[in-house]
Amino acid sequence: MPNLARRNAMNCVITRSIVVAGHKVSFTLDEPVWNALKEIVQHDHRTLCKLVAEIDIKGRGGNLSSAIRAYVCEFVRANEASRLSGPDGDDSAPSMWRLAVEDAQ
């Protein structure tokens, strides 16, 4: 049962608001995706506002929340692929995202 409680806590969906280019934008993300996004920002040494602005500009079709989820998923896949491709690959995929994926299995 502890895994069920942890999974429920991690699946909490929260609307977040930040300022991008002087405009307030809002998006809704599950806690694991939000945590992974914050880890990506730290990994890439940039600000959350700058990353969300880049994601928003690219458009990726759909709303900002979906675009952010797609970006996080692509980031994790790319890092997982590079990690698996050889011994020199780093394990830089966000740990919270991997944890959420492992829990879902």
Domain boundaries, the chain: 2-104
- Note the pLDDT of residue 8: 56
Query: Which residue, 12, 44, 39, 43, is CA-closest to 96?
Result: 39
pLDDT in tens, 45-97: 999 999 999 998 886 556 899 999 999 999 988 887 776 665 555 555 455 55
- 7 or 37, which is more confident: 37
Assigned CATH for 2-104: 1.10.3990
- Note the pLDDT of residue 34: 93
| 68 contact partners, CB below 8 Å, separation of at least 6 | 27, 29, 33, 37, 52, 55
Query: For residue 7, is pLDDT > 70?
Result: no
pTM score of the predicted model: 0.69
- 27 or 93, which is more confident: 27
- CA dist 4 and 103 (Å) reads 9
Query: Which residue, 11, 17, 25, is CA-closest to 63?
Result: 25
